[in-house]
Chain A
Amino acid sequence: MKESLYQYLLLLGDNAMILGHRLSELCGHGPSLETDIALTNISLDLFGQVRNYFQYAAEVKDDQEKTTEDKIAFLRYPHEYRNVLLVEQPNKDFAFVIARQFFFDAYHLLLLKELCKSKDEQINAIANKSIKEVKYHLRFSSEWLKRLGDGTAESHDKMQAAVNYLYPYVGELPSESPIEKEMKEAGIGPDLGVLRTAYFAQIKSTLAEATLETPQFFGFHSGGKKGVHSEHHGFILSNLQYMQRTYPEMEW
C-alpha cells in the first residue's frame, strides 16, 4: 500500500512537473508580454503543486536512501516517470500551447474536485490548495481557446489543427491504470470511469463554444502512466536533470 501510494503521488506530480517544464520553456518567448507572464505563472503554480506532492512522496517512502523531493524530481530514469504523453508534447505555435493546456486543465480541475474528497488527508489538503489555482488556469486556457477558435479564419484554422493534432492524446488522462484502480478502491483516488464521461462532455461543449469540431477519434495513444514515453521525454530530462547529474547533490 505504501509503495502504491508513493507511485500514485508520482503519477499526480509528474504530469504537473513535465507540463510545468514545457511552459517554463516559453519564458521570454510568449507571443505577448501578458501571455508570456500568464504561461510562466501557470508553470510556477504547477511546480508548487509538484513540490507538495513530492515532499509528501518522500515522506511516504521513508527509506534507507533518504529520498528527498529533489531526488524524486531530478534523479529518476525515464521509465520511472508516470506523466501522460500529452504533457510531454513539445511547444509549437500558441494555438498548440493553448490546446494542450486546455485539455490538461479541464481534466486537472475535474480530478482535483474528486481529490478534495480523498480519504488521504495530505492529498486532500494539496487538492484543496491546488484547485483554487487550477480554476484560473482553466479560465485562461478555455478563454483563449474560444477567442482563437471563434476569431479570424486563420486563428480558427490554427486552433482546429492544434486540437486535431493533440486530441489522440487526451484519452490517456482518464484511462485507469492499476495504481489508480487500487487508489480508487482505497478511497484515495476517484473513479476515472465517471470522470472520463464528464471530461469528454466538457471538451465537446467548450470546443463547440469555440466553433471548433471535436475530432472523431477513439484509438488513443497511451503508455506514459506505465513509464513508456515518447522520444520527447528524454530531451526534457536531459535539460531538467542536467544540474543534478553534472553536480550531484548540489543545492542553492
Chain B
Amino acid sequence: MNSLEKNSDIAELLVQVSDPEIPVLSIMDMGVVREIERDGQAVLVKITPTYSGCPAMDTIATDIKITLDRAGYSTTVKQILAPAWTTDWITERGRKHLEEYGIAPPLDASADKSVLLDGARIVKCTNCGSTNTKMVSQFGSTACKALFQCNDCLEPFDYFKCLK
C-alpha cells in the first residue's frame, strides 16, 4: 500500500484541488501528488512539477495548504524532482476530463512527431472526433500543450503533449 492509499481520506480531499490552468483536471488525476505523510494532525504533501518552469506549482501548493488546513490539518507542501513526472501518471478519469474539456489527452511519445513527419495521424479532434488532424505548433498556450487543428471540421484544439 503506498502513502496515497494509506492516507486516502486526505487524498480524497485533494481531489478538489485542480490545476489553475486546466480547471477540470484534479491534481490527483494529474499525478503531481506523489506522497502524503501524516503525523497526528501534521501533514506533509510531496508534489512534483509537470514542467520545470510550470508557473502553476506555487498556486497548487497554496491551494493544497488551504484545502487541508481548512479540514483541520497543519500542512506542509514540499516539491520533489525525482522521479520526474510523466504523462503516464495522468489517470483514466483525468484523460476523460481533459477530452471533455477540449484538450486531447496525451498518446504515445511519437504522436506529434508522427504528424510532423507525415506518419500515422492518431491525435483525435476534440470537436468532431476525426483523426485527420495536423499539428500547428509543438508549443501551445501552456508548457504542457501543443497546438493542433482538425482538417475536417477546421477546429483548432490543444493536445496535451507526451512527456516521458
Contact = CB atoms under 8 A, between A and B. Distances in A.
A42 interface: yes
A124 B82 contact: yes
Interface string B138-153: 1111010001000000
Instruction: Give the bracket for the number of chain A residues in contact with chain B.
Output: 20 to 34
A143 B113 CA distance: 11
A108 B31 CA distance: 28
A41 B141 CA distance: 9
A202 B4 CA distance: 44
Interface stretch (B14-22, B37-45, B49-57): B49-57
A48 B54 contact: yes
Nearest to A132: B163
Contacts of A34: 136-137, 139, 147
B113 A52 contact: no
B49 A48 contact: yes
Interface residues of B, number: 26
A38 B84 contact: no
Contact of B138 (A47, A52, A122, A139): A139
Given A34-B147, A124-B82, A125-B84, A133 B52 contact: yes
B164 interface: yes
A47 B57 CA distance: 14
Contact of B52 (A35, A121, A130, A139): A130
A133 to B, nearest CB: 6
Given A34-B136, A41-B143, A128 B82 contact: yes
A45 interface: yes
Contacts of A45: 51-53, 143
A74 interface: no
B83 interface: yes
A51 B82 contact: no
Contact of A52 (B52, B83, B136, B140): B52
Contacts of A204: none
Contact of B139 (A42, A122, A143): A42
Contact of A38 (B54, B138, B163): B138
A42 B53 CA distance: 9
Instruction: Identify the interface centre among A38, A41, A46, A126: most chain B CB within 10 Å of its CB.
Output: A41
Given A125-B84, A126-B81, A139-B113, A48 B52 contact: yes
Given A37-B141, A38-B138, A49 B82 contact: no
Contacts of B161: 136
A129 interface: yes
A132 B164 contact: yes
A133 B85 CA distance: 11
Contact of A41 (B86, B116, B139, B164): B139
Given A128-B82, A129-B81, A140 B52 contact: no
A44 interface: yes
A45 B54 CA distance: 8
Contacts of B164: 132
18 contacts: A35-B137, A37-B139, A37-B147, A38-B139, A41-B140, A44-B143, A45-B53, A48-B49, A48-B53, A51-B52, A125-B81, A125-B84, A128-B83, A129-B49, A129-B52, A133-B143, A133-B163, A136-B161
Interface of A: 34-35, 37-38, 41-42, 44-49, 51-52, 121-122, 124-126, 128-130, 132-133, 136, 139-140, 143
